[in-house]
Amino acid sequence: MSEHHIHPVPDSFKAHAAIDAERYRAMYQRSVEDPDGFWAEQADAFLTWDKKWDKVCESDLRKGEVAWFKGGKLNVSVNCVDRHLEQRADQVAIIWEGDDPSEDQMITYRELHTEVSRLGNLLRERGVKKGDRVCIYMPMIPEATYAMLACARLGAIHSVVFGGFSPDALKDRILDADCQVLITADEGVRGGKHIPLKNNADKAMNACPGVHTCLVVKRTGADVGWKEGRDIWYEQEVERQSDHCEPESMDAEDPLFILYTSGSTGKPKGVLHTSGGYLLQSAMTHKYVFDHQEGDVYWCTADVGWVTGHSYIVYGPLANGATTLMFEGVPTYPDASRCWQVVDKHMVNTFYTAPTAIRALMGAGDKWVTQTSRQSLKLLGTVGEPINPEAWEWYYRVVGESRCPIMDTWWQTETGAHMLTPLPGATDLKPGSATLPFFGVQPVLLDNEGHEIEGAGSGNLAIKAPWPSQIRTVYGDHQRCIDTYYSAYPGYYFTGDGARRDEDGYYWITGRVDDVLNVSGHRMGTAEVESALVLHPKVSEAAVVGYPHDIKGQGIYAYVTLMGGEEPSDALRKELIDLCVQEIGAIAKPDIIQWAPGLPKTRSGKIMRRILRKIAANELDNLGDTSTLADPAVVDDLIDNRANQ
């Protein structure tokens, strides 16, 4: 792939950021040479403990066993709320921006404390105690955050299920975690449409006799079904509760939450995170990766139903006493300018989103961006998929006016917090690269026999040593945890992703290992071919998979989405093939290009290549787990218009 620009650390960050290049190197070295000493210091600096730990880290990766700060006691909600009251009771903790641009709300730390305490008391009244599981199926409203923190206050384990999921998907997750309480709303509102959350929840609960209590927030006032005894109105019951709720002092290793993965590669896994290590790494990365400064307004566009929402809307920012923006709507409603209007309205300094949103906004055209000011922006972030260098440059140049560094953060539900990421005052940026490891993270590239690859090269991305926010188990199925992450390469945590390391030690995620292309014996990441395709000005998105090919073993099948207003043609097809040859080489020439008005994505916006692989191979009767697919109609359309081979 041709070399891309290097964007050096901007002078403004060089001078003011908490970590510069020299400090990064020194701290990183210390973090891997003396991890116990390093993490003990950080745990002291970032968190407030009721009692100090007996041991910093205990682990046996061969058995998938990891523990941090054992014997230490703390309460996560106290760390995110109570301890800030002395300094910042009247500071805004949450800026809520409604789906309708005329609706918003500011919640101070004092108000947050009241809300969390009252809800904690209500849950206690309904019998919720330490270790119980509570399912949260909510729109993006402040009550979703109150619910998470109220669970943390009692030591109950929350399982947030994205509000866009169907009754069936909700039912599976309630049963898997054996939740006894469900917190939901009458309806959600997104992009001007109402989503019948309570009615969905009713359908799910019909098959979940274990749920004895369902709290319902009134969001729209819609008529909803009601089961006396089980269902209660949130506002009505919360109002009469006391503002004091005694927090449960938890062991650092007591579970904080269960969260199901996106389902890009198969059936979702119920990832379990614990209290101390998770909170430490999410707080620390929020501080250093976004160079969070006093007074900053910070916006992560994720939904709280995903790990990004957990770590970077709720736990990380609130542990740091930040002002976090929570957005109910979608980036394209009422129009494609919405994100930048919200940035101007609330003077947002940090903006963190996903490549799927960036590509969609890029496809809509520059004018939606340039009609806004965006002068408050200092820093941009991306997460969720490899970002194509073309989309990176657009984000940098058009959105950030070449002023804001972009933090491309690679991590997973299972890693709990950032793992590979630049730091804005320390790291020169290369578009498309998640750059270097965060403190304490020891990435390695393994060949298929499990040998570590030295220097520049590509291979299977694994992590060699434990980190605090690491997955502790797959809920109720530790064997699945071992099988998925620890058995392919004994002694390592295996990520499932492939990566390349360049001469400067920078990491480039090449895609899922399961998706790697093997054309005439040459191995290639899907991300590399896709990035070549989206270089074309008429292409907004591309997904590449392999399919069985008589001569080459695997051929390259490319699904290509054009920019709004562009038409497919044979000439364009040829231009795209030439572009791949020019950027990567003849070996990367797509054999088949199918024009795709839409691509199958998970509800968190990631391309599901495993389904595209089935369509390419014409295995249409066995598409695998499609429960997390955002829009099944996209798949039908791709099947109907499948290219002839």
Residues making up the chain, counted from first to last: 645
Shortest-Cβ-distance residue relative to Mg ion: 261
For Mg ion, what does the binding mask look like between residues 6 and 45, x meaning CB under 5 A? ----------------------------------------
CB of 154 to ligand ATP, least distance (A): 27
Nearer to Mg ion, 159 or 261 (CB): 261
Identify what 458 binds: ligand ATP, Mg ion, none; CB under 5 to 8 Å per kind.
none
Nearer to ligand ATP, 286 or 606 (CB): 606
Nearer to Mg ion, 261 or 526 (CB): 261
Strand partners, 97: 104, 327
Residue 54 · residue 71 · CB < 8 Å: yes
Nearer to ligand ATP, 103 or 631 (CB): 631
Please name the amino acid found at residue 16: H
For Mg ion, what does the binding mask look like between residues 251 and 290, x meaning CB under 5 A? ----------x-----------------------------
Instruction: Judge residue 539's burial from the number of C-beta atoms within 10 Å of its C-beta, 0-12 exposed, 13-18 middle, 19 or more buried.
Output: buried
CB of 442 to ligand ATP, least distance (A): 17
Name the residues that contact ligand ATP, by CB under 6 A. Answer: 261-266, 268, 307, 383-386, 408-413, 434, 495-497, 509, 512, 604, 606
Residue 67 · residue 36 · CB < 8 Å: no
CB of 145 to ligand ATP, least distance (A): 20
| Number of continuous H segments (helices) and E segments (strands) in the chain | 22, 30
Residues within the annotated binding site?
190-193, 308, 384-386, 408-413, 497, 512, 520, 523, 534, 536, 539
Residues within the annotated binding site for CoA?
190-193, 308, 520
Of 146, 156, 98, the closest CA to residue 126 belongs to 156
Q: Helices 109-125 and 142-154 sit at what angle, rounded to 10 degrees? A: 60
CB of 270 to Mg ion, least distance (A): 13
Residues within the annotated binding site for ATP?
384-386, 408-413, 497, 512, 523
Nearer to ligand ATP, 341 or 526 (CB): 526
CB of 38 to ligand ATP, least distance (A): 24
Report the distance separating Cα 369 and Cα 126, nearest Å.
Answer: 48
CB of 533 to ligand ATP, least distance (A): 17
Identify what 632 binds: ligand ATP, Mg ion, none; CB under 5 to 8 Å per kind.
none
- In order, the DSSP letters of 411-459 are --TTT-S-SB---TTT--B-TT--BSBPTT--EEEE-TTSPBPPSSEEE
Please name the amino acid found at residue 500: R
How far is C-alpha 36 from the chain's CA centre?
28
> Could you give the 3-state DSSP secondary structure of residue 481?
helix
Residues within the annotated binding site for Mg(2+)?
534, 536, 539
Residue with tokens 């002291």: 44
Please name the amino acid found at residue 193: K
CB of 409 to ligand ATP, least distance (A): 5
Residues that bind Mg ion (CB under 5 A): 261
